[in-house]
Amino acid sequence: MKRTILDAEEKKIEREFGKYKPAGKQTKMRLEKIIERSRKSRPISLRINEMDLERLKEKADKSGLPYQTMINVVIHKYVNDGLLDKDEINKYLKVKKAS
């Protein structure tokens, strides 16, 4: 059985589980729709640099994930602003301090 690796936010939710209250009917229905949509996936064909693919496979293997799952994780984090470039973060912080 695979062990699920939780990120920091998921660990926080797990620790604070008792503080949460049940969702109302409308919220539940809305969340169910979101979950249903997120479960749908579409096969695509993707060209990727050979060296990048090998490095990705190595990282996926170290994480205990299939490499295609790792690609999905990276894409998901990127589109949800969870995967940010360190230089971009530093630029943002510098701009924020200056204003």
Residue 24 DSSP symbol: P
Q: Confidence class of residue 3 from pLDDT cuts 50, 70 and 90?
A: confident
**pLDDT value at 23 more than 90:** no
Looking at residue 32, what is its pLDDT?
A: 85
- Domain limits, the chain: 49-99
Query: What phi, psi does 77 have (nearest 5°)?
Result: -65, -40
Q: What pLDDT, in 10s, does the model give residues 56-99?
A: 999 999 988 899 988 988 888 888 877 777 776 677 677 666 65
Q: How far is CA 94 from CA 55, 60, 78, 85, 89, in A?
A: 32, 33, 22, 14, 9
